[in-house]
Amino acid sequence: MREPTGACPHCGLPSDYQSVRYPRALCHACILRATDTTGRRVGLSNESMSGGFIAFHRDDDSRCEQVTNEGRVLIDGVEYRAGEAHMGGCVVQPAA
């Protein structure tokens, strides 16, 4: 497993989300720019206190089925994978 570098793999700025489990996690600023594949901004969340992953459209808070089901998000046109993190929260990582 890769060790965390402390730098976001998208922008190179420090990432608070990186850990041994998620060494390539994106930073908060990049995650805030996430969109679905049609370009609508999305937010990421746990579905309930017991977990589950859900994405919602930031413009109207409607559920984003595409991201919720596939986990594919775009950040500045680059594809990443979003999902539920171990022990809660959400994480976004490079697709490859």
Q: Where are the domains of the chain?
A: 1-96
Rounded Cα–Cα distance for residues 39 and 19 (Å) = 29
Output 94 or 16, whichever has higher pLDDT: 94
pTM for this prediction:
0.87
Considering just the CA atoms, what is the radius of gyration of the chain in Å? 13
Using CA atoms, how far apart are residues 53 and 66, in angstroms rounded to an integer? Answer: 12
**pLDDT level of residue 20 (50, 70, 90 thresholds):** confident
Dihedrals phi, psi of 66, to nearest 5 degrees: -60, -50
Residue 83, H or E segment: strand 78-84
What are the respective helix, strand and coil percentages of the chain, to the nearest 5? 10, 35, 55
